Structure 1
Amino acid sequence: MSTIVDDRYQLLAPVGKGATGVVWRAYDLLLERDVALKEIALPPGPEAAERRRKVVREARMAARLSHRGIVTVHNLAEESERLWIVMEFLEALTLHDTLVQAGPLPVDLVAKLGRRLLEALRHAHAGGVVHRDIKPANIMLTGDRVVLADFGFAAFENAATTSMRGTPAFIAPEVLQGRGGTREADMWSFGATLYMAVEGRTPFRTVDSMAALVEALREPPRTPRRAGALEPVLLGLLRKDPAARLSSEQTHAMLMNVRRHSAA
C-alpha cells in the first residue's frame, strides 16, 4: 500500500538524496500532477524545533524566488515527525550525472549552461539569498532549462554565520576563514562548477576533505587544459581574494563573449 503524505501526496519512489534529506517522486492527488517531495526527518528531543525552523526557513527562502532556473516550491507539509517540502518535479539529469556519463563538456555548451545558471544565481542574489552549495550535483538539466536546486544550506546574504557548509571541492577559500554567506563565495563555487564541467576535474587535486579547503586557500587552481576561451572566466572566478573575483556582471559579459567567439 502506497504512503499518502498530508492526505494529498502519494509517494511513488525515491529519486535522489539532497544535502538535507531524501527526495521522492510523488503524485498530487488534489491537482493531479507529479511533484517532488523532499523528506526531512526531525530528530528526537529539543533539537526538533531547531531543525524544523531551518527547514521552514529553507522552504520560505526558495519559495520567494520565482525563476525558471530555480526549482519551484509549492508547499510545506508536516506528518509523522517528518517535514516535506513539496516542489515541482523535473525529469532531469544533474550536471554531475551528465559528467559521469558523458565526460567533460564542450566549451560552447559549458558557456551556455553557465549563462543560464548565472541568470538564476543573479536572481537569487537580487532577492538577498545566497545558495552556499553550488556544485554539479545541485544543477539539473532538462530540455532547455538549467535549474539550480537544493537550498538546504542557503542563507540571507551577510547573515551572521560561522558554519561551514557545502562540498569541500566547491567551497570558496574565504569560507575556511569564517567569511561565508556572500555572493562572492557563491561566484567562486559557480566558477569551480564550470571548471569541473569543461575540464572533467576539480580546480584542485584534493576533493573530499578538509585538505581540499586548505589547498584552495593556499594553492593556485590547476591550469585548465580544455577550457579555451573559458579560461579567463574560470581563473577570474577562482581568485583567492573575493574583492578581486569576477562579479556576476563581469562574468555575464565574458560568457557572452565566449558565445560570440564560439559562433565565429
Structure 2
Amino acid sequence: MPIKIRPNPAIPDHEVLRKIGGGAYGEVWLARGVTGALRAVKVVWREDFEDARGFEREFEGILKFEPMSRDHPALVNILHVGRSPDGVSFYYYVMELGDDVSTGQEINPVEYEPRTLRADTHQGAGVQWDTNVCIDVGLRLAEALDHLHERGLAHRDVKPSNVIFVNGRAKLADIGLVATRGQRTFVGTEGFVPPEGPGSSQADVYSLGKVLYEIATGKDRLSFPELPDSMPTGIDRKRWLELNKIICDICEPRISKRKISNAAQLADALRRLQRGKRRRQSGGAVWMTTAVLALFAGWASWEMVKDSEWVRRMTPAPKPALSQTVQL
C-alpha cells in the first residue's frame, strides 16, 4: 500500500509538533495544548474508509467511549473529541501522553518515543518478564476490558503496541478501534485474533491471553503454546505454572473448552493468583466436589452411629421364626 502524504492536521487549541505513530486506522501526533501540556492526538481520516457509514460508526464509538475512559485507571484518558475544520476530512481525539521509552515522564518533544509493551519487549527480545509484573499487567488490563464490556463495547485489537505506560502503569490504548460489541468489521492483528474472529468480549480476552503469553515466555504469540527456553525456579516456578494454566485456558482455540470466557473471570483468576489463592472451580467441578463431599460425610456419620444404643432402639427386633408342629 503506497504511503499517503498528508498535511499536518489542524487541531483547535493545539500546536501539532510531529507524527509519533500510525497504522491502518489513523495517525498519532504529538501536540502542545494552549496550557503548554504535551498531548497525544489520534487523527482518523475519512478517506481510509470504504464508505461514510464505517467512518461514522467509528466516530460514534469514540464518542460513547470518551466519558467512560476517565472512569478506569487502566484506560488511556481521552480529554476531547472533535472533527476537522471542514467537518468531513477527519475526526480526532486528544489523549494523555504516555511515558517516554527511555526517560519516563521527562519528555523531550524532539526525541519522544512512547513506551509501549511492544517497545519494552523489543528492548529485551526473548526475555521473560518477572511473573509478578505479568500478573499485575494482566490484572489491570483484564479489569479495563471488563469495564468496556460491561458498557457494551469491545476493543477489537488488544496487542502489545496498544498497551502504553503512564507514570509506569500499563494502560489500554488505541481506543479508536473500540466499537459496539459484536460489530463485525474485521480489525485486529494476526496471532492476536481468535479463530472465531474479533469483535466480541471473548475475543478481547483471547487477545489479552496472547499478550500475556509473549511477556511471560519471551516468545512470539505465533509460537503458542510452546514453553519458554528456561523455566522459572524456586517459589516463582509454581506461580508461573499457575499463570501459564490461565493463559492456556483463555488461548484455547476451541471456545467450548475455555473455562474462562470473559474479562471478569480472567481478572478474578489473576487477582486470586496475585494473592496466593487457588482459582475458583467451574460450576460443574463445584457441583461434583460438593456431591462427593456430601456422600463421604453421610457415610462417615453412619459409621459413627450405626452401633449406637439409639440406632439399636430405632431398629425393629427380628421376629422369631414360627415353629411348625408335624402331625404324625
TM-score interval, normalised by the smaller of the two chains: 0.7 to 0.9
How far apart are the structure 2 equivalents of 1:57 and 1:119? 23
Q: Decide whether the 8 Å contact of 1:4 with 1:10 is kept in 2.
A: no
Q: Deviations over 1:125-161 (max 9, x none)?
A: 11111111001010012324211011233221234x2
Corresponding residue for residue 255 of structure 1: 270
Q: Does 1:36 align with 2:40?
A: yes
Q: Decide whether the 8 Å contact of 2:164 with 2:171 is kept in 1.
A: yes
How far apart are the structure 2 equivalents of 1:48 and 1:181? 20
Q: Decide whether the 8 Å contact of 1:158 with 1:182 is kept in 2.
A: yes
How far apart are the structure 2 equivalents of 1:232 and 1:142? 29
How far apart are the structure 2 equivalents of 1:146 and 1:230? 18
The equivalent position to 1:10 in structure 2, one of 9, 15, 34, is: 15
Q: Deviations over 1:7-57 (max 9, x none)?
A: 41110122222451110111122x44222111223329x956335414412
Corresponding residue for residue 239 of structure 1: 252
Q: Does 1:192 align with 2:210?
A: yes
How far apart are the structure 1 equivalents of 2:95 and 2:81? 7
Task: State the Cα distance separating 1:223 from its structure 2 match.
Answer: 3.3
Q: Decide whether the 8 Å contact of 1:67 with 1:120 is kept in 2.
A: yes
Task: State the Cα distance separating 1:112 from its structure 2 match.
Answer: 0.8
More moved, 114-123 vs 67-76: 67-76
Corresponding residue for residue 49 of structure 1: 52
**Count of residue pairs the alignment pairs up:** 238
Secondary structure at 2:98's aligned position in 1?
Answer: coil
For structure 1, which runs of at least 5 residues remain unmatched after alignment? Answer: 206-220
The equivalent position to 2:66 in structure 1, one of 60, 63, 66, is: 63
* 1:13 counterpart letter in structure 2: R
Task: Sort the Cα spacing of 1:19 and 1:193 in 2 relative to 1 into closer, same or farther, 3 A.
Answer: farther
Task: State the Cα distance separating 1:77 from its structure 2 match.
Answer: 3.0
TM-score using structure 1 length: 0.80
Q: Decide whether the 8 Å contact of 1:58 with 1:151 is kept in 2.
A: no
More moved, 135-144 vs 224-233: 224-233
Task: Sort the Cα spacing of 1:76 and 1:125 in 2 relative to 1 into closer, same or farther, 3 A.
Answer: same
* 1:239 counterpart letter in structure 2: E
Task: State the Cα distance separating 1:59 from its structure 2 match.
Answer: 2.0
Task: Sort the Cα spacing of 1:137 and 1:4 in 2 relative to 1 into closer, same or farther, 3 A.
Answer: closer
More moved, 80-89 vs 231-240: 80-89
Q: 1 or 2 for the larger relative contact order (CA 8 Å, sep ≥6)?
A: 1
* 2:90 counterpart letter in structure 1: R
For structure 2, which runs of at least 5 residues remain unmatched after alignment? Answer: 1-6, 100-113, 232-239, 278-328
Higher strand share: 1
- Listed as ranges, the matches of 1:1-264 within 5 Å are 5-29=10-34, 31-43=35-47, 47=50, 49-50=52-53, 52-65=55-68, 66-73=71-78, 74-79=80-85, 81-91=89-99, 92-102=114-124, 103-159=127-183, 161=184, 163-175=185-197, 180-205=198-223, 221-225=224-228, 226=231, 227-245=240-258, 246=260, 247-261=262-276
Q: Deviations over 1:228-251 (max 9, x none)?
A: 331111111112233442133332
Task: State the Cα distance separating 1:197 from its structure 2 match.
Answer: 1.1
How far apart are the structure 1 equivalents of 2:163 and 2:203? 17
Corresponding residue for residue 306 of structure 2: none
How far apart are the structure 2 equivalents of 1:78 and 1:101? 37
Secondary structure at 2:196's aligned position in 1?
Answer: helix
Task: Sort the Cα spacing of 1:18 and 1:258 in 2 relative to 1 into closer, same or farther, 3 A.
Answer: farther
* 1:60 counterpart letter in structure 2: L
Q: Decide whether the 8 Å contact of 1:38 with 1:86 is kept in 2.
A: yes
Secondary structure at 1:223's aligned position in 2?
Answer: coil
Secondary structure at 1:43's aligned position in 2?
Answer: helix
* 1:38 counterpart letter in structure 2: K
Task: Sort the Cα spacing of 1:42 and 1:110 in 2 relative to 1 into closer, same or farther, 3 A.
Answer: same
Q: Decide whether the 8 Å contact of 1:111 with 1:259 is kept in 2.
A: yes
Q: How high is the sequence identity, in percent, across the aligned residues? A: 25
